[in-house]
Structure 1
Amino acid sequence: MAVHLSEPDRLLPVPGVRLCAVAAGIRYKDRNDLVLMELAPGSECAAVFTRNAFCAAPVHVARDHLAREAPRYLLINAGNANAGTGQPGMHAALACCAAVAEVGHTRPERVLPFSTGVIGEPLPVERITDVLPAAIQGLNPQGWMAAMRAIMTTDTVGKGISEQVALSGGTVTLTGIAKGSGMVHPDMATMLAYVASDARVESGLLQAMLGRCADQSFNVITVDGDTSTNDACVLAATGASGVAVESTEDRDAFEAALLRVCRYLAQAIVRDGEGATKFVTVRVTGARDAREARVVGMTVAQSPLVKTALFASDPNWGRILAAVGRAGLPELDVDAVTIHLGDVRIVVDGGRAPEYTEQAGQRVMDQAEIMMTIDLGGRGHDQAEVYTCDFSYDYVRINAEYRS
């Protein structure tokens, strides 16, 4: 069960965006598993993708198409990753784009394909193309909730959020949805995220904003340390509000709202991590730079020994200490490092804090949300936060039963 996470009651429509979710029968029965998203003419689009060398066919195609021109349609399927499928997989992704282009009266290059699900199985193209006419007919601005649910795989909760932000020219809307539960680790993770706004944003600025926000959200989460073949995060700006993001103040306000949306979606993925019973923030302070802080945070956050101790509610501070020590920081003064679990200091001067008691540590570890703070002893003034969850018996069960 997800940790303190529930589906949104509603998601705000974004002028210039229409969506439809349909059942193609790709893997699942009696549920929608295919989403078609239409962007109004003149929309700008930015994206970041997985860096996994075995990235899926749709990732290759989407990158190529996005580099050529702004997309008109996004096609997202759940249940089949179309990864590890070689040239037939490329042909399948391109065939889906061509089919969308035909029913949508546009060029195949203006269609971006996305897939999530089982790796190594052929994509059932005909099942997808057969339902595209219905998807086109069903496009509507209120389709966000259905789309949010249709892209789920091992997720237990739909993940979505809407925000409105006041800019100098008026108020704009941001709505985002995401899926992800396992195979989650930076650069991105079995994670798809789609955010749209009715603001008018120049394409270069849109890409820069998305890159920075993804780096502070989707790239600081880990469920299991595995980086997926299919990750993608897309940001579309339709301009339908007529409100331009141009001044420094408007840029800052819009990017801050975008970061809130991305961070919420990223943390929602961790809260719904496969088998998760705890949501954990690892905050690292006193680092020479943000990269160093993130390395330490991620080393602790993805440690199986730390994560199993979290599941057991076991205040086994030695595992945290060991993870910090193997993070590879040059010239780390271990005697200057301090570690806190919540408000409880557990490590100081290279060992257990003299005032620490197992009862105090247990009180923190029994909580569903835990803050772990690691200060590196004044090596610098930078800090970073990483978000993770515990490893439970259910994580093993889910991944033994579900073929990735």
Structure 2
Amino acid sequence: MADERTLTENIEIPQIQGEMVILRAATADEGEKLDSLGAFSRSVDTYGKTADAQRSIVASLVQRSRRWQNGERTRDEGKFDAEARGVLAWSMFAKNMDPSKDSAVDGDKNDKDDKVHDQLIGMVFLVDIDAWNSSARIQVVLGENYRGRGYTRDVMPRVMTYAFAPKPAGLGLHRIWMSVPSSNSRTLAVYQSLGFTETGVSRDALWNPFEERYKDQHVFDILVDEFDPIQSLETFGLHAIMENPGVKEALAQYEHTMEVRQRVREEIEVPLTDLSADVRGSQASQTSGNYDPYADDESRNETLIDEEDQLAGVDMPDVETIAETMAQEADLPEEHIGRKGADAGAEKKSAHQPWWRTLGAGRRRQQASNKSSGPDSH
């Protein structure tokens, strides 16, 4: 159990395919090229850090990823700490869309040539990989000219599928989270569309040196049972690539979770269905005049029989008479007397006593009223 909740000595960073991009293990040289892509432009609004700070962070993350990949993590990094944090860094390349350079057209083209023609557009990271708590933070860094073009939506679900997939196919994570400055409204919307839930706001967590004021930081997360590896792509017209690491395993685990939830729902719904049938049966009994709310109480049942004997021989008034009587009992205005008044009166009375007591009392009052207005009453 302990081995399952500690980081491995080394890790193989898998290649991940998207429809528009391809991800490969990041190198230090590729990290240095991000500057020329404008990846750190508007850094304070995008990442909550200055350009210099974000540049240093990216370089450090790539270095830590390479060391873990090569089995060179040091003791200072918490190699033997159960809650040690790991980092995985991928370079993001836009796939070559030029038909003249497409391997499908040029049969002599090999994978090495493909790498040359693919365009570096950014990086994606899994940061603070906590094996003990099965959690990690995800972050995407894109060149300025590649933002808002759908690359994040293509990349993140595929990386998350690998991260959530059970070991050894994936990392076996339970939770993925992220933090976004309040000024980065575009990214906030993207993460919400991917199924992330905002779990809190860190007030005044980030200092903006240009505006000389603090700004909030929003925290989002998603759990493995909440993540749909297929729907997260189909929402944006993308498709799952079965060759990607962890896809088959993630789908199998997700289907198992759905089966468990379905069984739980069925176990809950069956008693509810039975109860609903009992209620319908009781309502039918009430309608037929056989309803006995005190069937299990002999003393109260005798009281009910006495009341029924008193009501024997009383003619049942028509619907309008019942409605008028119930409306009057509810102290409704005259303009509400009628079907609507009957419904309102019935609702009010039913909160205090059974319907049959209301109608019984109404019949007695109606009978008394008829006698008092008859020829013998004068």
User: TM-score w.r.t. structure 2 length?
Assistant: 0.26
Greater C-alpha Rg: 2
Flag the structure with more relative contact order, 1 or 2, with Cα contacts below 8 A and sequence separation at least 6.
Answer: 1
**Structure with the higher fraction of residues in strand conformation:** 1
Higher helix proportion: 2
